[in-house]
């Protein structure tokens, strides 16, 4: 473990801050457990699968708006205060979701979709920006570590949610999870604060490092005028379909691809773990070999994996799916560090939130696309073709990305 350092007579144990940040980040990923909640929501409110998935789809889209809002707030108040706002909004949205009358199921779109989306987005963006301030020398590792927990949160909390739903009801489940979310978030707020003034302010990458960083601290208005921004935005958009178009169809195609339902379920669970692992392993590698070469490699491997999934049968089918989940996690963990390399740390929160718009757009579009092509003659092949094509175009964009000035 790194030793505690002292800056302006203030002790800084950044590994403790990172650990508490990872704990708090768990609260931003509770929405990913919606797949466990959805069957009970369908039964309680008499909804079909399509209607019951709307709150989660809205949550994904609004998450980006919450991230932008959190980035703006960071310029007006301390990080721990912004984090507290996000934690409270998220917990309130969760609690209110358990009070929705049977006659008005659309209100779940407001509480779970809008309110929790905003709260989770604020927590997400604030945590990422905070860790980048503490670890300017290890951006990829810190960002990946903090993002790995949001990927695991739904997986970790799902057994408790399942227990509460089987033994009680939606109201009790939402209330208990809201309380846990609030407590964990408040504990995290006590540790995740702005670094002391002057903390690592003179840090510059060594001349031997593969990391290229800007010497300019871009404001959001300056950033959106650069070609770098649009290259990142669009390539991030194209990084999403590779997993998001194939994931909903993985289990559906299991019998056709000669694997059992038990094998498919195991693969889904392993994919969740490997996606979280990808969020920390891939960006940590990027700290050593550079962001661009890392992302180029991940795009190439994604395209190759998707090509294999088109024809894979037997155990090769789940193995490739798990690999794709790992690569998808690598994308999510590396783009925040890439954004900071090019646009600086001063406005890292709001700047990355604007880059993340590409992710948000793709996250909303992909489920719509899957539903649109499902049942058509070219449904599955078309989804796979779009996923593979997106990876190839993303690869070309990443290759065109010039070094930061």
Q: What pTM was computed for the model?
A: 0.89
Could you identify the residue written with the tokens 């997986």?
Answer: 155
H or E segment and range at residue 12: strand 10-12
Cβ–Cβ < 8 Å for 80, 193 = yes
CA distances from 222 to 5, 69, 254, 360 (A): 34, 18, 48, 22
For the chain, domains (ranges, CATH) are: 9-189 (1.20.1250.20), 220-400 (1.20.1250.20)
Cβ–Cβ < 8 Å for 151, 275 = yes
Q: What is the pLDDT along the chain (405 residues), one digit of tens a residue?
A: 465 666 655 678 899 999 999 999 999 988 888 888 988 999 999 998 778 888 988 898 899 999 999 999 998 999 999 999 999 999 999 999 999 999 999 999 999 999 999 999 999 999 999 999 999 889 999 999 999 998 788 778 888 998 999 999 999 999 999 999 999 999 999 999 988 888 877 777 665 567 778 888 999 999 999 999 999 999 999 999 999 988 888 887 888 888 888 888 888 889 988 999 999 999 999 999 999 999 999 999 999 999 999 999 999 999 999 999 999 999 999 999 999 999 998 899 999 999 999 999 998 888 888 877 776 667 678 888 999 999 999 999 999 999 887
Answer positive or negative: Cα dihedral of 286, 289, 294, 300: negative
């Amino acid at each position: 473990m790194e030793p505690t350092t002292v800056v302006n007579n203030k002790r800084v144990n950044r590994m403790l801050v990172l650990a508490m940040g990872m704990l708090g980040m768990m609260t931003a990923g509770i929405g990913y457990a919606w797949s466990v909640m959805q069957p009970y929501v369908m039964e309680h409110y008499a909804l079909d699968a399509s209607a019951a998935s709307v709150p989660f789809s809205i949550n994904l889209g609004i998450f980006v708006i919450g991230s932008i809002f959190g980035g703006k707030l960071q310029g007006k108040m301390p990080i721990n205060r912004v984090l507290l706002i996000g934690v409270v909004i998220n917990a309130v949205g969760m609690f209110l979701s358990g009070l929705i009358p049977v006659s008005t199921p659309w209100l779940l779109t407001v509480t779970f979709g809008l309110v929790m989306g905003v709260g989770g987005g604020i927590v997400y963006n604030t945590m990422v920006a905070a860790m980048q301030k503490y670890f300017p020398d290890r951006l990829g590792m810190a960002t990946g570590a903090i993002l790995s927990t949001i990927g695991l949160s739904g997986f970790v909390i799902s057994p408790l949610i399942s227990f509460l739903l089987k033994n009680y009801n939606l109201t009790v489940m939402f209330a208990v999870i809201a309380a846990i979310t609030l407590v964990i978030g408040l504990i995290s707020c006590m540790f995740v604060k702005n670094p002391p003034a002057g903390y690592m302010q003179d840090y510059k990458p060594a001349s031997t490092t593969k990391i290229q960083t800007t010497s300019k601290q871009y404001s959001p208005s300056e950033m959106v005028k650069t070609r770098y921004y649009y290259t990142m935005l669009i390539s991030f958009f194209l990084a999403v379909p590779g997993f998001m178009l194939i994931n909903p169809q993985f289990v559906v195609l299991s019998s056709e691809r000669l694997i059992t339902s038990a094998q498919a379920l195991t693969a889904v669970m392993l994919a969740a773990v490997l996606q979280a692992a990808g969020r920390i392993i891939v960006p940590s590698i990027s700290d050593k070999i550079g962001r661009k070469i890392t992302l180029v490699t991940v795009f190439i491997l994604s395209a190759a994996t998707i090509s294999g999934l088109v024809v894979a049968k037997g155990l090769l089918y789940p193995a490739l799916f798990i690999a794709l989940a790992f690569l998808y996690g690598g994308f999510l963990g590396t783009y925040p560090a890439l954004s900071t390399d090019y646009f600086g740390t001063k406005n890292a929160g709001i700047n990355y939130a604007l880059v993340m718009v590409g992710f948000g757009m793709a996250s909303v579009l992909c489920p719509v696309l899957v539903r649109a092509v499902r049942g058509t003659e070219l449904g599955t092949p078309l989804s796979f073709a779009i996923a593979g094509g997106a990876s190839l175009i993303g690869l070309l964009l990443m290759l065109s990305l010039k070094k930061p000035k």
